[in-house]
Structure 1
């Protein structure tokens, strides 16, 4: 049951049916894609880019939240939006390589670093229950989580294939740039929550004072007292 759909439309963590559909579809397509990549790395344009490791780690990331909820069984509603945000980076990386956007579009890799870190930072804010917290708290959580994910990704790339690829000569400069883009994405997530919360934070103007009753004794109007 999509319990979050009963929340206000301005709620940044409200869950709607389309979020559930997108999350499930992204996971199914991801599983199909990693299975194909594991059998034929050329299909995903991942030759020399650790296709086997991606086929293992991407499903682990995409099913992290379902696993935690299956084990812990918390009373809170399932965080479909956060789960979708965690699934999309793995899905988009495979899709981008499959249609060769990383090689054909010069800015695509930089954009993916910003967007992916933004999504992961936003997911962490939601999972931490801080979607409606103060901006400094959301910024702290998002940047801490986003930079941790960004660093983990760079270490993963370095260990998995960079040292054995033609990118080793430019790896250092690329890593520093990617980490900077990761910070930008994480900070953007906090700003987007601030914008999403803006309608909720607007103060409702006070109601005009009611006129004093002609019968302060509480007797009904028109009675003889």
Structure 2
């Protein structure tokens, strides 16, 4: 990997921007099976709603972005934080969806509409692409973060990026279970194929025949 690479260009997309594009597609593939009226569904009375899962994942992206880069033009209060990872108060009531704690009309709408919640997720991913894509790989992988109580002293922005992506994948997986609980058929995130069919093929020893994985997307 060329650590001297600068900001993204059409000819040579930034490696982190390519990865964000992949994970956006993975997330949307999981959401495809939901109906908009499924926004308020929960797996237990104490769990977040389906829309709440999407909003939580999106707001967490903005938490990581502001923690790394400072205030930016986002849709959630997380985007207005100063750099650093000292204030973790946003994790209080983690099982309560953002739409249940935020009076913003836009967030309230997203709590009732998975389509709107997905739009806010996309806005967070756009912000991530812009902020990471504007930095060189040298900045992201070599410069340690300022001291913080929650990350080791050797952590860089690249390590935080991986945690951000992993957190998004965690909630994508939760949404797949919500879908199954509703009797829907979520797709495996990486192929245009239902999870149940993919699992059946794996159990029978067949080749998946799923085609080109999304990981090849540029």
Query: Which TM-score applies when normalising by structure 2?
Result: 0.30
Higher relative contact order (CA 8 A, sep 6+): 2
Which structure has greater helix proportion?
1
Indicate the structure (1 or 2) with the bigger Cα radius of gyration.
1
